Amino acid sequence: MKKKITFAFIMAVFTTGIVTFAAISVNLGFTANFMSIWLKSWGISYVVAIPAILFIAPKVQSFVDYLFAESDKKNIK
C-alpha cells in the first residue's frame, strides 16, 4: 500500500503540474500573474488527483485488463 500511495503522490505532482501549466498558458498566456494562477491551480488539481489516482486507477486497470484479456489468451496459444 505504501508503494501505491507514493506512486500516487509522485504521479500527481508531474501530471497536474504539466497539465495545469499547459492549460493556463494556452488560455491566459504568460501574464504578469501567471505563476500565482498556475500555482493555485496546480495545488487544487493536486488535491483532486491523489484520490483519483488511488481509487479510479485500479478500476481503469481492471477495465483495461478485461479489454485485453481475449487478445492475451490468443497470444498464449
Integer angstrom CA distances of residue 10 from 1, 44, 49, 74, 75 = 14, 15, 11, 36, 34
Confidence of residue 70 (pLDDT cuts 50, 70, 90): confident
pLDDT at 48: 94
Q: Which range has the top average pLDDT, 6-10, 40-44, 72-76?
A: 40-44
Q: Answer whether residue 65 shows pLDDT above 60.
A: yes
Burial of residue 49, with CB atoms counted within 10 A of its CB: 0-12 exposed, 13-18 middle, 19 or more buried: buried
pLDDT at 1: 81
3-state secondary structure of 1: coil
Look at the pTM and tell me if it is higher than 0.85: no
Residue with more model confidence, 40 or 72: 40
